[in-house]
Amino acid sequence: MLVGMASGLFGASSGFHLEAGALYGPRYVADSDIKNIYGEGLVYFPYAAIMWKGILIGGGYEGGYSKSGAIGLFEEASSLKISGFEFFIGYVIKIKIIAPYIKVGYGSYSYQQKIESPYVESFKVDHKKSAVTFGGGIRIYPLKNLFLMGEGKYVPLKVRPFDVEVDLSGLRLLAGIGFTI
C-alpha cells in the first residue's frame, strides 16, 4: 500500500522517482600508520533518494569498517571503527540503459579507537568529524526499474583526536544494486 501511494505521489507523470540501493566494496586508508596497523577494510552504503529530471538528492549510512591491530612499542591490542551518515546531491545522465553520474555530499563520521594495555589505563577515542564527499560512477539498467552500479567515492577526513593529526581520508570503490519507483 505504501509503495502504491508513493508511486502515485512520485510517479512518472510528475517526473519524480524514488530510489533505494545498496553499495559494497573496499575502503582505502590514506594514512600510512593507520594502514600498517589496521589495513584496508570493506564498507557498505545503503541509501534512499529522490530523482527529478536527472537531479538526485538523498542520504545513506556508511558502515562496516571495523578493524583490529597491534599498536605501540608493546604491541597492545587495539581496534578502529569508522562509520557515518551522508547526505548528497548528484546528477545522472541516462543514455538508453547506461547512466553515468556525479555527486557531492556532506557526511558526519564517527571514529572510535580503543587500545587495551596491561601497563596503563585503557585508551579510548570516540569523536565525530564532518567532511565534504565527492563521487561518481555508472549505472546499468538491465530492467526498467532495476539498476546495477559501480561507484568511486573519496572522503577527505583529517582528524585531530589529541595533539597529532591523523588522516582517515580514503577512496571507496563500491558496487551495488538499486531500484526506482
Q: What is the pLDDT of residue 117?
A: 76
pLDDT tens figures, 61-108: 999 999 999 887 778 888 999 999 999 999 999 999 999 999 999 999
Contact in structure between 36 and 67 (CB atoms under 8 Å): no
pLDDT tens figures, 85-94: 999 999 999 9
Looking at domain 23-66+84-107+130-180, its CATH class is mainly beta
Task: Give the number of other CB atoms < 10 A from CB of residue 156.
Answer: 13
Statement: residue 5 has pLDDT above 80: no
C-alpha cell at position 151 = 561507484
Domain residue ranges in the chain: 23-66+84-107+130-180
Q: What is the pLDDT of residue 2?
A: 42
Q: What is the pLDDT of residue 122?
A: 63
Statement: residue 162 has pLDDT above 60: yes
C-alpha cell at position 95 = 543514455
pLDDT tens figures, 31-47: 998 899 999 999 999 99
Statement: residue 12 has pLDDT above 90: no
Amino acid found at 33 = D
Tell me the C-alpha distance between 181 and 171, whole Å: 30
pLDDT tens figures, 137-160: 999 999 999 999 999 999 999 888
3-state secondary structure 2-48: HHHHHHHHCCCCCCEEEEEEEEEEEECCCCHHHHHHHCCEEEEEEEE
Nearest to 177 by CA among 46, 41, 74, 13: 46
Q: What is the pLDDT of residue 1?
A: 45
